[in-house]
Chain A
């Protein structure tokens, strides 16, 4: 059964600049996105900043009206059946905001229980279960202003689940969380599908998507450029090889110049501590290292390694091509 059905969804924003001579401009944030999420599935929406992920989610949770196209969540239209959709969805976004800092976690959950229609006699039990689920039992009477970012994020998830929604939208929930907190959060997210929730997750972290998602759609400039399981997406670049060249103080224009090397599909640069690692995705049988090193010229170079492509490589190829 389909929990989320999106068909040719579009959203255009109008902006204007200037004071006396106002110039109007239209920005197409989402250009005909279509996908379907089955009940109980954890679906990932990946894409760079500004690709249209959050805009898509906001249309699905009824905070934004689509310019064109249609979407149904839990069987209800996001434009016509707003209240029905809202009763059946949970929305969690990343970052520090979205909670009443001066209230305790318990009071925050009580407040949103009322707004999301949880019956008064069920509230105490439900809140207790969710505090247990997100590991905040025993800390619930402390004010949120004293919480760490990881604790706030887990509280957000508890808040999003208060009314037992069928579909949960998680918009970059692990942003800014330390590795231990992120691991705990991933465990919490994984447990959602175990209890039958449908989850739409957006994230920048490839290992997170790889570990959690049943299927992934990659969105670029408002359009879906690839969709499939993590394994299927990796297969798209499995016929490629990745060459990594460690450098010290390489400049961007030099890196950009490596794109002309025969057999190189994409060029990327990663900062790793005091190193800059040039990442070249190449044709399987291409020998690119010698020519690339020649083009790097006087740049100080460390190790040159070859490795198998990861989901991140697949993502970079998809959004960078």
Chain B
């Protein structure tokens, strides 16, 4: 057990190094989320509605995390393939979940950095001090969002392993995710037939938990649902990972560039 934890911790830390050594990438990671957060806040500010601004401000904070994880994780294995490391990872005696989860956790760490930057952006540029009733529960909600998103990211990464254009799938998910997770528009405004799609994304529940913590409601139910859905993706990802790697070994698709 100690050896497994050591492996996950070391791999996580080294993947954080890989994803955070470039200043350019650091700026780029936060640039799009900040621009869209800005657009959202400008739209809501027109109404002069303080509750609306609180809603949009909280959503914008978590929105960047979705971009950092949901979009990037889809192409995580494709990037390993481009750099020639995918075969080495698959040929390792360590199972894919123990290789990939530290990587998606590293993406979530970049997402947490986005959360902090967006929070400060809202405060300094929009003079929007978010009202947070319980800071510990708010932070817990954000951490659960990061953790469950990394499990969702793991699922996306293994699902897209055989597609060379996985980055396009990730990019196509960015804006629909903002709507489906209720970052910028209340879920009640979406068509009913879309609600099940929202429910199967753990970030929807984590976002609700963050809002609960901010407005003083109990977030535990939503936190539990977020963790449950996240765990579901971990299990499905584990199963699919084995199947898809076996399929790649049968069809010789590991080395495709």
Contacts and interface: CB of A to CB of B under 8 A. Distances in A.
A103 B88 CA distance: 16
Given A99-B85, A103-B17, A114-B6, A63 B99 contact: no
Given A114-B11, A116-B93, A102 B17 contact: yes
B11 A111 contact: yes
Interface in B74-100: 83-85, 87-94, 99
B47 interface: no
A62 B3 contact: no
B213 to A, nearest CB: 35
Interface stretch (A90-98, A191-199, A239-247, A305-313): A90-98
A115 B92 contact: yes
A172 to B, nearest CB: 13
Interface in B26-76: none
Contact of B87 (A63, A89, A143): A63
Contact of B94 (A13, A116, A119): A116
Contacts of B17: 102-103, 107
B94 A115 contact: yes
Contacts of A114: 6-7, 10-11, 94
Name which of A63, A65, A99 has the most chain B CB atoms within 10 A of its CB: A63
Interface string A77-101: 0000001001101010101111111
A110 B249 CA distance: 27
Contacts, number: 84
Nearest to B250: A65
Interface residues of A, number: 35
B72 to A, nearest CB: 15
A112 interface: yes
Contacts of A97: 83-85
Contacts of B7: 114-115
A297 interface: no
Contacts of B11: 111, 114-115
A304 interface: no
B3 A120 contact: yes
A119 B88 CA distance: 19
Interface string B118-149: 00000000000000000000000000000000
A64 interface: yes
Interface string A54-79: 00001001111100000000000000
Contacts of B94: 114-117
Given A13-B252, A61-B91, A110-B10, A95 B18 contact: no
B91 A98 contact: no
Nearest to A119: B3
Contacts of B87: 63, 91, 93, 98
Contacts of A119: 3
A100 B83 contact: yes
Name which of A61, A98, A119 has the most chain B CB atoms within 10 A of its CB: A98
Contacts of A111: 10-11, 14
A13 B251 CA distance: 7
A87 B93 contact: yes
B83 A98 contact: yes
A102 B21 contact: yes
B254 interface: yes
A168 B113 CA distance: 42
B22 interface: yes
A63 B85 contact: no
A86 B93 contact: yes
B6 A101 contact: no
A50 B18 CA distance: 35
A89 B21 CA distance: 32
A111 B83 CA distance: 15
A112 B14 CA distance: 11
B172 to A, nearest CB: 22
A63 B84 CA distance: 14
A97 B250 CA distance: 23
Interface in B206-257: 246, 249-252, 254
A306 B68 CA distance: 66
B83 A116 contact: no
Contacts of A101: 83
Contacts of B85: 97-100
Contacts of A58: 252
Given A96-B84, A114-B10, 15 more contacts: A63-B249, A65-B246, A86-B93, A87-B93, A93-B87, A101-B83, A102-B17, A102-B22, A103-B17, A112-B92, A115-B11, A115-B92, A115-B93, A116-B93, A119-B3
27 contacts: A61-B91, A63-B87, A63-B91, A64-B249, A64-B252, A65-B249, A86-B92, A91-B91, A93-B84, A93-B87, A97-B83, A97-B85, A98-B84, A98-B85, A98-B87, A99-B83, A101-B83, A102-B22, A103-B14, A107-B14, A107-B17, A111-B10, A112-B88, A114-B6, A114-B94, A115-B7, A115-B92
Please name the 3 residue pairs, one residue from A and one from B, whose CB atoms are nearest each other, closest first.
Answer: A97-B84, A98-B84, A115-B92
Interface of B: 3, 6-7, 10-11, 14, 17-18, 21-22, 83-85, 87-94, 99, 246, 249-252, 254
